Chains A and B, each alone.
Chain A
Amino acid sequence: KQEVTQIPAALSVPEGENLVLNCSFTDSAIYNLQWFRQDPGKGLTSLLLIQSSQREQTSGRLNASLDKSSGRSTLYIAASQPGDSATYLCAPNTGNQFYFGTGTSLTVIP
């Protein structure tokens, strides 16, 4: 069974900092990996999708990398803003199922 671990569990940073969120997974046989954002009491918003053949994907201030062989992905957020405060979830996809970690809760302090 795929196990997903996200480190750190919680992170508090001042506005403007660059930060890295880490995700590791135990089964490297994935089709892709998706990063989501979840605001309190809300649904999941897709941030980035990385295919298994890709090394990284960028969208605005966000950059996600994938090292499938070592079972790792990182989400890099540049110049963080208070509006980035949320829980970030990574989810490797093995075909019919996404597997989720418990996420990293990010607080960006103005």
Chain B
Amino acid sequence: NAGVTQTPKFQVLKTGQSMTLQCAQDMNHEYMSWYRQDPGMGLRLIHYSVGAGITDQGEVPNGYNVSRSTTEDFPLRLLSAAPSQTSVYFCASRRPGTTEAFFGQGTRLTVV
């Protein structure tokens, strides 16, 4: 049981490049979300999904796109990377309702 798996662990992008951060979970959780963690700030919600085909914006969605075609996967796309998107990105999943959330190990992204 792998839990929540994020790839890659590290990535360096040039300004303007695009990329996709991958997140997969094998717990059959309907709810998945993406957070970013910046120094001196708490984790902030980017986008979330309550099930396949359903996504919604969180607190800081600008510059990011998501889709949810399967229960297992929830990729995060950066369309045109900017230095302000340098951060550590975490994917989380849980079952619906008031249940425990599980987080991946994070993707450390640097945009130069």
Residues of A within 8 A of B (CB): 4, 31-32, 34, 36, 41-46, 49, 51-52, 89, 91, 93, 96-103
Question: How many residue pairs at the A-B interface have CB separations less than 8 Å?
Answer: 57
Residues of B within 8 A of A (CB): 33, 35, 40-45, 48, 50, 56, 58-59, 90, 92, 98-106, 108
- CB-CB nearest in chain A for B56: A96
* List of A residues within 8 angstroms of B98 by Cβ: 31-32, 51-52, 93
Asked if A44 contacts B56 (CB within 8 A), the reply is no
Asked if A97 contacts B58 (CB within 8 A), the reply is yes
- CB-CB nearest in chain A for B88: A41
Give the residue of A42, A52, A99 whose beta carbon is less than 8 angstroms from that of B106.
A42
* List of A residues within 8 angstroms of B102 by Cβ: 46
Give the residue of A4, A46, A96 whose beta carbon is less than 8 angstroms from that of B42.
A4
Give the residue of B41, B56, B90 whose beta carbon is less than 8 angstroms from that of A102.
B41
